[in-house]
Amino acid sequence: MGQTEKIKVERLNLHYGTNQALYDIEMNIPENSICALIGPSGCGKSTFLRTLNRMNDLIEGVKITGEVKVDGRNIYSPDTDVVSLRKRVGMVFQRPNPFPMSIFDNVAYGPRIHGTKKKAVLNEIVERSLKQAALWDEVKDRLHKSALGLSGGQQQRLCIARLLAVEPDVLLMDEPTSALDPISTLKVEELTQNLKERYTIIIVTHNMQQAARISDYTSFFLNGYLVETDKTDKMFTAPGDQRTEDYITGRFG
């Protein structure tokens, strides 16, 4: 594929207090690709996802060793500015979490915090982000109405627009469609396909079909270990490890 490496993870271990949750994770994620993280509940997928923008720092008693490099720089080095890291590596959560304010103010929130004040510039950012999130046509006539009036699927796309407004490089998605109906799920899946032209996307999913449909690479986690990672079509047709095959074919999980 010859793609540039966007994220390189080396010897990553994570403990919650005395309990180890990730063991020696090694992974490379190419730029402008979608990487799906699969595996049974409690296997470390979401924990791993949160190590990529240091969200686990917010949890008491977490200890992390190893390196996570984004564009060649270790994000765990002491001189990392975590605020700017989270601007570059943004997160979309399982349940849509729009702020209780207007649609416009939701999207303008990040740029305003980072110092953008001009109305014309904010208008431009809001329109561009909503278009990128495939939501503009549905909301352009009610930008100043509450975001809480949107449907669940629209709220999730709004949260994606809110993320895009601060111009990240990497989008982390933690089961972004698990709370959505099938039609909204399809819209978010289509959206990820369009977004990977500009961004690198890592998505946690419990839905095997979703991983097969949208991702370029799939990584299978089990009990805190990364069992294997490969191109998605190969993982789903000829996985290298029997445990991966057992999970994908529904023998456990």
Per-residue tens of pLDDT for the chain, all 253 residues:
457 999 999 999 999 999 999 999 999 999 999 999 999 999 999 999 999 999 999 899 999 999 999 999 999 999 999 999 999 999 999 999 999 999 999 999 999 999 999 999 999 999 999 999 999 999 999 999 999 999 999 999 999 999 999 999 999 999 999 999 999 999 999 999 999 999 999 999 999 999 999 999 999 999 999 999 999 999 999 999 999 999 999 887 6
How far is the CA of 189 from the CAs of 39, 106, 117, 158, 169, in angstroms? 19, 22, 33, 14, 19
Please state, in angstroms and rounded to a whole number, the distance separating the CA atoms of residues 149 and 147.
Answer: 5
In a domain, 13, yes or no: yes
Beta strands in 32-134 (DSSP E): 34-38, 62-70, 73-74, 89-92
Residues 6+ positions from 54 with CB-CB distance below 8 Å: 75, 76, 80, 82, 85, 86
In a domain, 65, yes or no: yes
How far is the CA of 185 from the CAs of 101, 131, 143, in angstroms? 24, 18, 23
In a domain, 35, yes or no: yes
Q: How many domains does the chain have?
A: 1
Which pLDDT belongs to residue 58? 87
CATH at 215: 3.40.50.300
Helix (H) or strand (E) holding 25: strand 19-30
In a domain, 192, yes or no: yes
Q: Give, rounded to a whole angstrom, the gap between the first and last alpha carbons of the chain.
A: 31
In a domain, 240, yes or no: yes
Torsional class of 167: left (φ above 0), alpha (ψ -120 to 50), beta (otherwise): left
Beta-strand pair 225-231/89-92: unpaired
In a domain, 117, yes or no: no
Beta-strand pair 34-38/217-222: parallel
Three-state SS at 212: helix
Residue with tokens 């627009």: 161
Which pLDDT belongs to residue 48? 98
Which pLDDT belongs to residue 1? 44
Which pLDDT belongs to residue 253? 61
In a domain, 92, yes or no: yes
The tally of CA atoms less than 13 A away on the side-chain side of residue 252 is 11
In a domain, 164, yes or no: no
- Find the domain containing 28 and state its range: 5-100+169-248
Cβ atoms of residues 153 and 92 within 8 Å: no
Which pLDDT belongs to residue 176? 95
